[in-house]
Every structure is written in C-alpha cells, then in structure tokens.
Amino acid sequence: MSELHAASVTLARTLTAGGTVFQIGGADRAVDGYVLLDVDSAEAALRERSRTGDSVLVVGEFVDRDRILRRCPAWGIASVWVGTDGRPEPGLASVTLLVPDALAALAAVTSEATTLTGDVAAIAPAIVDCTDEVCITCSDEGRLGEVIAPAVDFAPALVRTADGEEEVDVTIIGAVGPQDLILIHAGSAIAVIPDPIPTGSTR
C-alpha cells in the first residue's frame, strides 16, 4: 500500500466511524468536513476535543509538531503528516508523506479519503498473524499514556490512554506532573517519555 493510500485509508476509517478529522496547517481553512486547529493552540485543543478513533492531519513543520505527534497514541488518535521536508522521525506519525508539493498531496489524500468513506471492505484492516513479542507473564505490552492528575501520597496517577482514563501506579518512576507522557506496562508506569526537541530548535 502506498503512503498516500495509507493516509487516505486512515482518514476514511475515522470518517466512516463517525469520528473527527482535525487539521493543523496547510491552509487558511480546513478541508470540507475537517476541523481546522490553530497551530499555536493545537495541542490543548486536541487534548480537550479529540476522542479515541479520531485522526489528525498535520501539514508541514511548526515548533510543537513532534510533541503533538508523540502524544497521539496516548489520546487514541491516528496521525497523518504531509510535508515537503523535515519528515518526523520514524514511528512518530501513523503515516508520513514526504512530497514535492504538500498542498497537492493534501488535496489528493483528502479526495481519496472522501471516496473511500463508507466503503467498509476497502478500508478494513488486513488480517495478519501477530508476531509482536509481549510479556509472557501478563500478555501486556508497553503503551503510552498522558498524565491527567499526578499521584497524591501513594495513590495512583490518573492517566489518559487510547482505552480511556485509567489509574496507573507511578511508584517506579516517582513524581509525575500533568501532561507528562509515560510508558505503561501491566498497570504501572515504567518510564517517562521525554519530549522531542522542537522542530527548528537549536537545542
């Protein structure tokens, strides 16, 4: 499957399920049916408005782009990035499209997504045998979560994951604050995930 088709399928799955596709960058107004977010407040808007199963279409580069993309799995949303340079690091976005003309690719992706919307057979996930290694003891694998409310005394922290809000034991990693991104395994936080260096930063 080409990256362009994969991007279209990702957006079409969200639309078919009645979810929202958010758009950051790329134009002064959103693609019809999508919700345009201001670059400067996009992270806060996604945190507040997105729901599991939604998608975000990110166009080009901006300071907090990678921070937003890294949090998408914790929010339960798929991410598609389209741009002419500055491709995000591998695995940061669900799908990346590095293209000569971002606006032309944006038009092609959203047009195909509209065509595919409602075609359940065309957008159904492929059935594959699972070869991923998981914990033999608990059959769990590491997943991302974003802290909503930190732990008080020895109580667990309240964390948002793709499955919803959960209480997570943070004893291993110690104090965490709101919006910290953590790796969860078997109900416990096992690491704090550092934020990526902002796009265009010299740090």
What's the CA angle centered on 27, arms 47 and 55, to 5 degrees?
Answer: 35
Helix intervals (H) in 17-162: 42-49, 65-75, 102-116, 120-123
Spell out the residues 6+ positions from residue 41 whose beta carbon is closer than 8 angstroms to its own.
Answer: none
DSSP 169: B
Q: What is the pLDDT of residue 129?
A: 59
Q: For residues 78 and 54, give the distance between their C-alpha atoms in angstroms, rounded to a whole number.
A: 7
3-123 CATH choice from 3.40.120.10, 3.40.50.10490, 2.60.40.10, 1.10.10.60:
3.40.50.10490
Would you state the pLDDT for residue 202? Answer: 39
Q: Give the global pTM.
A: 0.86
Average pLDDT per consecutive 10 residues, the chain (203 residues; last block may be shorter): 93 96 86 92 97 96 95 97 94 96 93 94 76 57 92 89 94 92 94 81 42
CATH number of the structural domain 128-203: 2.30.30.140
Which of 22, 8, 98, 19 lies closest to 60, judged by CA?
98
Give the containing element (helix H, strand E) for 193: strand 188-193
Domain residue limits, the chain: 3-123, 128-203
Alpha carbon distance, N-terminus to C-terminus of the chain = 37
In angstroms, rounded to a whole number, what is the distance separating the alpha carbons of residues 51 and 104?
28
Quick check: do 3-123 and 128-203 share a fold? Answer: no
CA distance 107 to 86: 20
Q: Are 139 and 159 in contact (CB under 8 A)?
A: no
* Residue 126: predicted pLDDT: 73
Candidates 146, 144, 143; CA nearest to 44 is 146
